[in-house]
A and B are shown apart, each in its own frame.
Chain A
């Protein structure tokens, strides 16, 4: 267990020391959301209607933007060889890396989302649903993203390729995440949406690391 914490801590350290990394994903998220009121116009009615969807789409895109950070550096500097030979199974190392990725990209989005909710004129209950949905759904973004990041190691344009692979996988998260807020507004129950979001994250927790570790082994060969 300490080995995983060890890896988790190093990933956090790297993310914080290489400054910008965290700010980049967060800044992209905020800017993408801010662009919509400017483009669509300031009518509160329209913004309220599409606000949650916008914020979720921006969260997806900003997650994709940060995916190459997961394995690319370790692949390029030989660290992946050593991780494969270390005392932890590669699947476990993937989980530790995903946890650090989530803590430095997903979690800041969750914390920032209430402010963006205000920006698109969501009411208090909707903002709570939005933040809760992001909290439950963003772990799945990091985990599913790890598959794409591992598959595209060594590819010439890994960023573009991994977004093509991963965005279709993100669709269920988007549907249920935006759906939760929508259901809260029109009066349907948001609970099933949130439960499904949690199920997606919990399902991805064991499955995505297995797939990502298999792809990593392929990349090492």
Chain B
């Protein structure tokens, strides 16, 4: 199991290309133990891409990510085991039950289902744990996706617009979970448009790393 506080996350000189477009370049950031990184920026500025880069779901055009002193590519399995990624999509199957869904995703990471009930309770889903997911509202689906964070431990949380369709209570529960996680030495990187009540979070404005605009007519093939 990967201990929380296993070492700092450092991204150096990251560039990201989506198709023809260079989304951002020479982006560097560091996330120490207990740190929170808020990614802000306009639509299309690369918040989600940066999170997917950090999750190793995308490969950077240039630059690299170092975790606890070693490049993540050297031991991808260990790095992936120490992160949780909650993207826009909820990874929820309508036909499966709420508890079953959470137990399944914990199981794919090699963790028993014993942490599932506490995770459901933390997001106030315990009363509907036996429902099939097709009955859930958008906000409840979001809560279920976020409950994955607590159902199995991971040091690094990568959250993409986690508050989308959450109500005020859900947002409070999320902030509480994040602060508990950070107090235990965990790290979190969040792409968000809404201000989150997190203590001393670093803010990374993606536009600062926007690639210089290129005149398409002068680009050489």
Chain A residues at the B interface, C-beta cutoff of 8 Å: 2-3, 6-7, 10, 13-14, 17-18, 73-74, 76-79, 81-88, 220-221
Q: How far is the CA of A78 from the CA of B74 in the complex (A)?
A: 26
14 additional contacts, CB 8 Å, given A10-B104, A221-B59? A3-B108, A10-B100, A13-B100, A14-B93, A73-B93, A77-B92, A78-B90, A79-B91, A79-B93, A81-B87, A82-B85, A87-B80, A220-B57, A221-B58
Check A85/B95 contact, CB under 8 A, given A6-B108, A78-B88, A78-B89: no
Q: Could you tell me the dominant secondary structure of chain B's interface residues?
A: loop
B88 touches A3 (CB 8 A): no
The count of chain B contact residues (Cβ–Cβ below 8 Å) is: 26
Is the C-beta of B73 less than 8 angstroms from some C-beta in chain A? no
Q: How far is the CA of A144 from the CA of B138 in the complex (A)?
A: 37
Pick from A76, A79, A81, A85 the residue with the most CB of B within 10 Å: A85
Which residue of the partner chain B has the closest CB to A73? B93
For the complex formed, measure the closest distance between the CB of B71 and the CB atoms of chain A, giving whole angstroms: 18
Is the C-beta of B68 less than 8 angstroms from some C-beta in chain A? no
A6 touches B104 (CB 8 A): yes
Chain B residues at the A interface, C-beta cutoff of 8 Å: 55-59, 77, 80-81, 83, 85, 87-93, 95-96, 100, 104-105, 107-110
A residues within 8 A CB of B109?
Answer: 86-87
A residues within 8 A CB of B80?
Answer: 85-87
- 28 example contacts (A-B, Cβ-Cβ < 8 A) are as follows A3-B107, A6-B104, A6-B107, A6-B108, A7-B108, A10-B96, A13-B96, A14-B96, A18-B95, A77-B90, A77-B93, A78-B87, A78-B91, A81-B87, A81-B89, A84-B57, A85-B56, A85-B57, A85-B80, A85-B83, A86-B108, A86-B109, A87-B81, A87-B108, A87-B110, A88-B108, A221-B57, A221-B59
Q: How far is the CA of A81 from the CA of B85 in the complex (A)?
A: 8
Q: How far is the CA of A2 from the CA of B112 in the complex (A)?
A: 10
A77 touches B55 (CB 8 A): no
For the complex formed, measure the closest distance between the CB of B149 and the CB atoms of chain A, giving whole angstroms: 12
A residues within 8 A CB of B56?
Answer: 85
For the complex formed, measure the closest distance between the CB of A160 and the CB atoms of chain B, giving whole angstroms: 25
B residues within 8 A CB of A18?
Answer: 95
For the complex formed, measure the closest distance between the CB of B32 and the CB atoms of chain A, giving whole angstroms: 23
Which residue of the partner chain B has the closest CB to A2? B107
